[in-house]
Amino acid sequence: MSLEIDGIGIAFGGIKAVDGVSFTAKPGEVTSIIGPNGAGKTTLFNLVSGVYRASSGTVRIDGRDVTGLPAHELARCGMARTFQNLQVFPQMTALDNVMTGCHMQEKSNLLADLLGLGPARRATARSRDAAMAALARAGLADLAHRPASEMSYGQLKRLEIARALVTGCTILLLDEPAAGCNAVETREVDDLIHAIAEEGKTVVLIEHDMRMVMRISSHIVVLDQGRKIAEGGPEEIRTNSQVIAAYLGVHGAAEAEAAAHG
Amino acid sequence: MSELLQFLISGITVGAIYAAIALGFTLIYNASGVVNFAQGEFVVIGGMTAAALIGAGVPVWIAAPLAVIAGMLVGVLLYRLAIRPAGQAPLVSLIIITIGASIFLRGAMQAVFDKQIHRYDGFSGDAPLRVGGATILPQSLWIIGGSVAVFAFLAWFLNRTRAGRGIRATASNRMAAALVGINTGRAMNLSFALSAAIGALAGVLATPVTFTSYDVGVLMALKGFSATMLGGVGSPLGALAGGLLIGLIEALTAGYISSDYKDASAFIVILLVLFLRPQGLFGARIMERV
Amino acid sequence: MAGQGTTVATAPVETARRAHVGNGKARALIGPGLCTFLIFAVLVALGALIFPSSYFYRVGTLVWINTLAVTGIVVLLGYVGLVSLGHAGFFAIGAYATAIGPNYGIPSPLAMAGGVALAGLLALVVGRPILRLSGYYLAIATLGLGMLIWMVLSKEAWLTGGPDGMTVSGMNARNLFKLVGLKLKSAEAWYWVAGFVAAIGAAIAVNLANSPSGRALRAIHDSDVAARSLGIDVARAKSRAFVISAIYAAVAGALLALANGYITPETGGFMHSVEMVTMAVLGGAASVFGALVGALILTALPQLLTVFADYEHMVLGAIMVVTMIAMRRGLVPFIADLWNRRKS
């Protein structure tokens, strides 16, 4: 499903953290949001996913207005996300973390849950299978029974992706998924995101790794000080003088260049 | 009319006590982020110590300062033995620690003193003064004056003195305060000592009017809380206003509705405030960053 | 990190369970709930085997009733991370309904059910607004609620007997056992009933922890925001946990009223709420076994310390402070960790 953002904005104490940003993310594509620190990227995610309430603008999913819906209802509309500064469940195992992502598929009522009846057990068994599959896909199958509090930063980033995937989402917001990953892991995350988009999901990505962004994005939106300063394909963005001035800099442009040709 | 005036006078008197307790809460909360459930015990320590000393023949002008110093010592001990060792404990642990400390102190008071109800004579006698058609005890004036003095002292101390600014800096960011050379440990000790002293002073002043016994601390703490919540957690002005308001609401409830439920009014106020305006009258809203 | 404020000092439910519910195979075979029930049943029977007098049965009954009430706290505090300082209020509603009913011609079992339903309903109604709050605000709101219930019980003497309390007439557990031809003393009969109900309560709580709803609750404990992003209706889940824990407290209260034959408003007082939370954190709020250990220690200790009755408060207060400083997750996880470390 496509995600259409139109003129969205929010102000904190008079400062416009996000100001009238519009873009559309299409199914089967990776749309990246880039920009310097403090440009409002994560705030934009928080607005779209219902953590904050927008003071202006609309969010639509396939034309349906979902602006202002609470986060859990947006999730039921098929939106899932990961978090920049990690929101895992540290006291649970990796497996339980991902099983929690199956919540919306679990058709079991409270009474069955309390009494340990068939529906509760079957739902749990199904969730376990789905979660194991997702863990394997994120390359974490070996760590299924490890408490999340004992996993590395890069592993937790991927754990969040696995958890988001099992929700059965059609729109996936990824906030710096490659942060804290080494080169090999970054490549794996890269491939995983690519494969997710190939399945026809709408992927929106915040990322600082320009090589990765240029490699997998179909569409790039550039934010600076809460406003959109440019939008377009990787080629367009790489050569946009305004973007180079505000964010990429000469070094970043060179790196992006290298990615494009490397 | 004179009836209403009488209710207002008694409301302001108890309200001033609650305000002093609320100021003590606010001081500790601002410095450490801890809501100290043992705050009411300082009031009891002040009252009981003064009563015991006066009962033993010590003149009031010696007994009162000694009682305040006793409260202060307990405050520092509370910080050193219970709060500081807890370190960066989760909030639920801190709640349980301070409630535990409050129960411990209550037990200690029962062991050191007794289970009797105590009072002593007002500082300026107990002959009521006539105001309009109502009467006011001279001790009420001591109480109201004491609370206003405490508020003024805190305002001066926190804004104008080096030690006070240290407490404020520690409150807003302990790490940064330590980095610029503020002795944050001393600031914490100081705020617990001061807060306890304020509570004990409230107890010393209030006992001739409200009486005291080893087990009134919980109720005192809860009233002080209501005042803090109503005024807005962390705001000294809010603590003062909240205390007076709770006192007035309580006195008017007792006067016009039911004296059985005068204590209930404070809790109904807390619940209403929490539902309708959790930041209180003078507090600021806080947004969580994800 | 979100939830820093509400993250309770609790052990991972997994670890505590693994360490204390025998080996994994038995659990997988008969299910964790039934497994817990059987362990509790064995413990109940064990008590009956060694108790020399009615006095012990009475204390044992109290232990199981407290375990049941504290299991409710485990669901709320251990699973979801919500602190309530007013649960004695729900306990007292269960107790007083059971006591008052027969005075108006309502038979005990019906009065008991009515009290439990009333407590659940009250939790449902006040839960929504109260549970929007977190941390200190929630603690104080629940405290205020508990105080209001306690005040009504103390002041409405025409209904409740006022501060002096009231006697409870009606049902005796002996008669239940007579039906199946067993002749037991009253104290023994109540011991078995309380133990049985506590075992069922524990089994239900363990089932919950391992179910879809339970995972949602534990997710909220660790990260509210992430839970929402997964489609969990946090307000609804919290409200459910609050109602469930209120029902645990009310059932325990009703049992106490019947077993003791006498109740006072103090069953609904602040100190009782604090005792319940203390039992949970002392044993370890993450598991029902923590509830049992906490209830056992804090129920038996005052009996052992009767000579030191004057120091009871000091001992209770010191336990609270020391537990929270030295073993934040409670005794059961603390000992489980020691055990695991020694083995490996």
List chain C residues with CB under 8 Å of A112.
Answer: 211
Distance CA C42, CA C114 (A): 31
- Which of A50, A72, A110 minimises the CB distance to C213? A110
pLDDT confidence tier of residue C65, bands split at 50, 70 and 90: very high
Q: What is the pLDDT of residue C305?
A: 73
Name residues whose C-beta falls within 8 Å of residue A3's C-beta, 6 or more positions apart in sequence.
Answer: A24, A25, A48, A59, A60, A61, A79, A171, A202, A204
Write the pLDDT tens digit of every residue in C308-326.
777 888 888 998 899 999 9
- For chain B, what percentages of helix, strand and coil (3-state, to nearest 5) are there? 75, 5, 20
pLDDT at residue C178 above 90?
Answer: no
End-to-end alpha-carbon separation of chain C, Å? 32
Report the residue of chain B nearest A49, measured CA to CA.
B290
Which residues from chain C sit within 8 angstroms of residue A102, using beta carbons? 212
Of C204, C207, C215, the CB nearest to A100: C215
Q: For position C344, what pLDDT does the model report?
A: 72
Among B92, B95, B102, the residue to mutate for chain C (most C Cβ within 10 A)? B92
Residues C97, C112: contact at Cβ < 8 Å?
A: yes
Residues B201, B210: Cα–Cα separation, whole Å: 14
DSSP letter string over A3-70? EEEEEEEEEETTEEEEEEEEEEE-TT-EEEEE-STTSSHHHHHHHHTTSS--SEEEEEETTEE-TT--
pLDDT surpasses 50 at B226: yes
C59 or C185, which is more confident?
C59
Which positions in chain C touch A50 (Cβ < 8 Å)?
228
CA nearest to B223, candidates B11, B57, B47:
B11
Instruction: Tell me the pLDDT of chain C averaged across its residues.
Output: 88
Q: What is the average per-residue pLDDT within B114-120?
A: 91
Q: Measure B14 CA to nearest chain C CA, in Å.
A: 20
Per residue in C123-145, pLDDT (tens digit) is 999 998 889 888 888 888 899 89
Quick one: closest CA in A to C226, which residue? Answer: A87
Per-residue pLDDT band for B183 (boundaries 50, 70, 90) equals confident
Chain C: partners with 3+ C-beta pairs within 8 Å:
A, B
Interface contacts B/C by beta carbons within 8 Å: 137
Could you tell me the residue ranges of all domains in chain B? Answer: 2-276
Beta strands in B12-101 (DSSP E): none
Q: Is A175 helix (H, G, I), strand (E, B) or coil?
A: strand
pLDDT, position B179: 84
Q: Give mean pLDDT, residues C139-159.
A: 92
> Taking a C-beta distance cutoff of 8 angstroms, is the pair B260, C152 a contact?
no
Q: Pairing between strand A3-12 and A56-61?
A: antiparallel
Which residue(s) pair with A147 in the sheet?
A93
Residues of B in contact with C129 (CB under 8 A): 274-275
**Contacting B residues, span 259-288, partner chain A, CB-CB under 8 Å:** 287
pLDDT of residue C121: 98
Largest distance between two CA atoms of chain C: 63
Confidence of residue B276 (pLDDT cuts 50, 70, 90): confident
Residue B290 near chain A (CB below 8 Å)? yes
Q: Taking CB atoms and an 8 Å limit, are A116 and C31 in contact across chains?
A: yes
Q: Is B127 on the interface with A (CB under 8 A)?
A: no
**Predicted pLDDT at A260:** 64
Task: Give the residue from C266, C265, C255, C147 showing the smallest Cα distance to C197.
Answer: C255
pLDDT in tens, B127-161: 999 888 888 999 999 999 999 999 999 889 888 88
Q: What is the pLDDT of residue C316?
A: 84
Instruction: Give the 3-state secondary structure of C252-293.
Output: HHHHHHHHHCEECHHHHCHHHHHHHHHHHHHHCCCCHHHHHH
**What pLDDT is recorded for position C237?**
96
Report residue C15's pLDDT band, with 50, 70 and 90 as the boundaries.
very low
pLDDT of residue B7: 93
pLDDT of residue B289: 42
Mean pLDDT on B63-77: 96
Nearest CA in chain B to C226: B290
Tokens standing for A22? 């519009």
CA–CA separation, B137 vs B97, rounded Å?
A: 38
Residues (pLDDT < 70) of chain A are 250-251, 259-262
Chain B CB contacts of A42 below 8 Å? 290
One DSSP character per residue, B93-134 reads HHHHHHHHHHHHHHHHHHHHS-SS-B----TT-SPPEEETTE
- Closest by Cβ to B260, choosing from C141, C155, C320: C155
- Asked if the model's pLDDT at residue C259 lies above 80, the reply is yes
Q: At A145, phi and psi to the nearest 5?
A: -100, 10
Strand pairing report for C166-167 and C262-263? antiparallel
pLDDT of residue C28: 62
What length does chain A have?
262
Q: A120 to chain C: nearest residue by CA?
A: C211
Neighbours of chain B (3+ CB pairs under 8 A): A, C
**H or E segment at B216?**
none
C33-54 pLDDT tens trace: 999 999 999 999 999 999 999 9
pLDDT greater than 50 at residue C337: yes
**Contact state of B290 with A83 under an 8 Å Cβ cutoff:** yes
Which fold, B2-276?
Answer: ABC transporter involved in vitamin B12 uptake, BtuC (1.10.3470)
Contacts of C136 in chain B (CB under 8 A): 35, 91, 95, 233
How much is the pLDDT for A251? 63
Chain C residues with CB-CB distance to A101 below 8 A: 230
CA distance C274 to C291: 14
Give percent of chain C with pLDDT exceeding 90.
Answer: 67
Q: Are A46 and B287 inside 8 Å of each other by CB?
A: no
Query: C16 to chain A: nearest residue by CA?
Result: A91
